[in-house]
Amino acid sequence: MDRFQIGTVTVHRIEEWQGTFAPPSYLFQGYTPEGWDPHAEEFAPEYFDPATGHLYAFLQSWVLDTGKQRILFDTGAGNDKDRPNIPVFSNLQTDFLGNLARAGFQPEDIDVVVCSHIHIDHVGWNTRLVEGRWEPTFRNARYVLPLADRAYWDPDDAAAGPDGVGAAVNAGMYEDSVAPIVAAGRAEWAEEGFAVAEGITLLSCPGHTPGSMMLEVAGKDDNALFVGDVVHHPAQIYRPEWNSVFCEAPDQARETRRRVLDLAADRKALLVPAHFGGSHMARVLREGTGFRPVLGALGLS
């Protein structure tokens, strides 16, 4: 598996799925050919498949091994989850746990699970189907989830929740991937500044969902920002005004994306999104009043 170092923290990439997903004109709100075409060649083939005209994407998680704790960031789509409104992620049968084992970890080795936000492809492996029941996959772990997403997604909460695309795509997600964690007494609800471990902090990034958070890992000479779905694709570094169709609060998502890109550029941090192909991360440089991604090996081994 891919592995890199941030200070004393060893990071392992755990792959669940890869493949073509959708054309850029579908995924990006605000898409224009004029914004896409100058970079299309740069994105092929690791981020865009010219043969199909579809974006290339990954579902992947990250294990951060501090030497004292093993922290799993995001848990993908999961197996056996019925997702009728997004068939590409419905009833998957992937070898995610096998990939986790090949990286050197069993489910019981994970001490903390952190979900950047509550969407189907970030909470799926929170649970697995055991004799017809959804049970916590990581039985020794505490699960850290964004507090602001609880009221939004919990169908038993009286607060206003999702509608449109968000409601359709995520139907059944809370019930099979979050509620069993709450029922098992494993859920810990986080807000801005939540300290996961020494030098590892959650920062609020609302917009994609109300509670979306990124994980900042501070090393002595480098740092990384695990940003979940603040950025889906390198095109959004060039075009931070382009949301994904799945962003719940579009104006807030655009504001957050630019703020995060500013932070990544200022700190020269590794930007580690959830779905990037290629090296699965980027550096962010300023270009005029905007940004451009630096894609490549970036220290992966």
For residue 165, pLDDT over 70 is answered with yes
Upper half-sphere CA count for residue 64 (Cβ side, 13 Å): 28
For residue 301, pLDDT over 70 is answered with no
What is residue 299's predicted lDDT score, i.e. its pLDDT?
43
pLDDT tens digits along 239-295:
999 999 999 999 999 999 999 999 999 999 999 999 999 999 999 999 999 999 999
Mean per-residue pLDDT over the chain, rounded: 95
What is residue 1's predicted lDDT score, i.e. its pLDDT?
47
Reduced to 3 states (helix: H, G, I; strand: E, B; else coil), residue 35 is helix
Alpha-carbon distance of 204 to 98, in angstroms, equals 32
What is residue 265's predicted lDDT score, i.e. its pLDDT?
97
Alpha-carbon distance of 245 to 206, in angstroms, equals 15
Sheet harboring 200-204: ordered strands across?
195-197, 200-204, 213-218, 223-228, 270-273
116 near 212, Cβ under 8 Å? yes
What is residue 300's predicted lDDT score, i.e. its pLDDT?
40
Domains in the chain and their CATH numbers?
Answer: 3-294 (3.60.15.10)
Residue 110 vs residues 63, 137, 219, 267: alpha-carbon distances, Å: 8, 10, 21, 29
